[in-house]
Chain A
Amino acid sequence: MGLLGVELTRWRARPAVAALMLAAVLFALVAAGLTAWESRALTEAERDDAVSQAELTLRDPGVRAEVEACRDSPTDYLGPDAVADDCLGVLAPDPERFWPRTPLDLAEVLPQRGVEVALVVVCLMVVAASTFVGADWATGSMRTQLLVEPRRLRVWLAKAVAALVWSAATTAVALLAFWGVLAAVARARGLEVGDGVALDAAAQVGRSVVLAACAALGAFALTMALRHTVATLGLLFVYAVGGEIALGLLPVPDVASWSVGRNALEWVQDGPGEAFTLAGSPYLGPAAFLGALTLLAVLVSLPVFTRRDV
């Protein structure tokens, strides 16, 4: 416990890592604020302006001709049960189409900004985990630590758990802050947050926390092997971006399922896409793919760290 406590302290005491944690939370709060601002209530002037624009559009000869044609033959336009009086209601432009913004809808936020925020926070945790241990190598404090505790496996595990715990906790705090702010805004605006949306958001936060913990563990493991933060981040960048380009060029079917970005995206967001699919679950495939990558990083890192000279 002593060693783990030391590593947990060391993580939060490193200014660059603390700044990244703070940046993650601030980013989530700013994103929530931006979402709230972009969906703020319409002013009377904006509503009046939308009504005017709808009326103006209705005066357009093309639209009027369309409505007249519909009235002549409503079933061709609107289906077998339609009557002529339905045409104006359906084809005339609704003032809502001219609103400068849409009201807050948390169900819409989930697959869009919710996913974006989660992925950015995960990326920040990757950088934090790599910085945390890269600094140990750069300053020589790794050698000092090994002079005190020569059991390298214990040192590796303590640092890994610290990276895992802090990145998971930071991600949870950042994303709960994001959704908390949006839920409060929705309630303040008299919008109902349905149980389904709340559960979906909670599930997305949970999956994002797991992803952040795994990604941080993988970045930590690679840095322990490479002994350099920049080398690790460079390698990850080449793998993520270069791999994406390479996959795009390969004339192989379903090649997108090998993309780390797609798998991460589909793990966080709700619904199947181009990533791996296993046993009919949209999550099992990405989980297996990302888990295998993390495991590979760990399997490379452990023997290198425990056997290589320091």
Chain B
Amino acid sequence: MSELVIETSGLRKSYRHGLRRRVAVDGLDLAVPAGGVHGFLGPNGSGKTTTMRMLLGLARPDKGVARVFGLKVPSQLPQVVDRVGAVIGSPGFSPHLSGRTNLQLVGRTLGLSRTGVDEVLHQVGLESRARSSYASYSPGMRQRLAIAAALLKTPDLLLLDEPTAGLGPAGGRTVRDLVRRLGDGGTTVLLSSHNLVEVQQLCHSVSVIDHGRLLASGRVDELLGERTSRTRVKVADLRGAQHVLRSAGRTVARDGDALLVEGHERPEEITRALAARGHYVTELIEVRPDLESVFLQLTGRAPDGSSTPTPADGER
């Protein structure tokens, strides 16, 4: 097993909400291996940001232990903070100062030279607007400046909370390319995102949480591998074809104007069984499992927190 960069055990955090307390993180056991991009998935309000804030010393856990590079946080955070960069929540900089000056102030706190500032501005594609005041930046540019600030340390671990939220297509792509490059270059990136396609594209491993608890964790291909492919079949008579396939021992669900058949091994058996009863297939496609279907199965919710029934929940 590879070395763990982040490790939490029984991590718990609750907030006062009026007269009651609301549990944001409830005994979370999280393990993030070194290197690569690790996705941190969960619906809105599942505890992702709170977990990241606890790892960075911005919030104190009620219970449990959190370790970064093997050291307890927040007590030993100062010993590892130079190796950790982060973008949490909406970016916060002095609005009247330029992007470059804001970064220079961060750099001076870290004891870094000005060349490092120019380098990270180039990395996030902000060099042409470096002298503009932060107040004039679009939300996407602000997000990229926050990432630049996180990169000033040349971190071994980068925590990014929804880094592409609010970015346009070009800005999102810049950030995704950057995250991919960092992950490939050996930096461990913990990436929280609602964009499951993005996570599937970028991440080597993921942890899925909901209600502050870990639901699943592992390599993306392993998680997807646990789910079998399905076969989407189009025929003229859906009801009749469904009956035929069920009689043949198949698990079948309706999916709009087609049928979804569990499994995709030996698809010729499907066409053969249907043709034998006079149902002629007009379309037969393998539907591979994706992270979104895994996510929906695990949480029963869409990433934005709304309850969304999976297609497989249909009639069988």
> Are A5 and B108 also in contact (CB < 8 A) when A309-B59, A310-B59 are?
yes
Count of chain B residues near A, Cβ 8 A: 33
Q: Identify which of B4-12, B83-91, B119-127 touches chain A.
A: B83-91
A9–B89 CA distance with the chains assembled, in angstroms: 25
Q: Collect the chain B residues with CB atoms within 8 Å of residue A41's CB.
A: none
Asked if A143 lies at the interface with its beta carbon under 8 angstroms from chain B, I say: yes
Contact among A3, A10, A144, A307 with B92 in the assembled complex (CB-CB below 8 Å): A144
A56–B106 CA distance with the chains assembled, in angstroms: 76
Q: Find out whether the CB atom of A144 lies under 8 angstroms from the CB atom of B78.
A: no
A210–B77 CA distance with the chains assembled, in angstroms: 37
Contact among A9, A141, A150 with B57 in the assembled complex (CB-CB below 8 Å): A150
The residue in chain A whose Cβ has the minimal distance to the Cβ of B149 is: A144
Asked if B60 lies at the interface with its beta carbon under 8 angstroms from chain A, I say: yes
Asked if B56 lies at the interface with its beta carbon under 8 angstroms from chain A, I say: yes
Q: Mark A284-310, 1 if CB is under 8 A from B, else 0.
A: 000000000000000000000001011
B103-157 at interface with A (beta carbon < 8 Å): 105-106, 108-111, 146, 149-150, 153
**Chain A interface helix/strand/loop/mixed:** helix
Range class of the A interface residue count: 20 to 34
Q: Collect the chain B residues with CB atoms within 8 Å of residue A151's CB.
A: 78
Asked if A234 lies at the interface with its beta carbon under 8 angstroms from chain B, I say: no
Q: Find out whether the CB atom of A13 lies under 8 angstroms from the CB atom of B108.
A: no
Q: Collect the chain B residues with CB atoms within 8 Å of residue A148's CB.
A: 81, 106, 109-110, 149, 153
Q: Find out whether the CB atom of A146 lies under 8 angstroms from the CB atom of B57.
A: yes
Asked if B93 lies at the interface with its beta carbon under 8 angstroms from chain A, I say: yes
Q: Collect the chain A residues with CB atoms within 8 Å of residue B58's CB.
A: 143, 146-147, 309-310
Asked if A100 lies at the interface with its beta carbon under 8 angstroms from chain B, I say: no
Contact among B53, B93, B111 with A139 in the assembled complex (CB-CB below 8 Å): B93
A151–B77 CA distance with the chains assembled, in angstroms: 9
> Are A144 and B96 also in contact (CB < 8 A) when A2-B109, A150-B77, A309-B58 are?
no
Asked if A96 lies at the interface with its beta carbon under 8 angstroms from chain B, I say: no
Q: Mark B141-176, 1 if CB is under 8 A from A, else 0.
A: 000001001100100000000000000000000000
A145–B106 CA distance with the chains assembled, in angstroms: 7
> Whole-angstrom distance from the CB of A74 to the nearest CB of chain B?
75
Asked if B74 lies at the interface with its beta carbon under 8 angstroms from chain A, I say: yes
Q: Collect the chain A residues with CB atoms within 8 Å of residue B96's CB.
A: 13-15
Asked if B225 lies at the interface with its beta carbon under 8 angstroms from chain A, I say: no
Q: Mark A2-40, 1 if CB is under 8 A from B, else 0.
A: 110110011001110000000000000000000000000
| Residues of B in contact with A (beta carbons under 8 Å apart) | 53, 56-60, 74, 77-78, 81, 85-86, 88-97, 101, 105-106, 108-111, 146, 149-150, 153
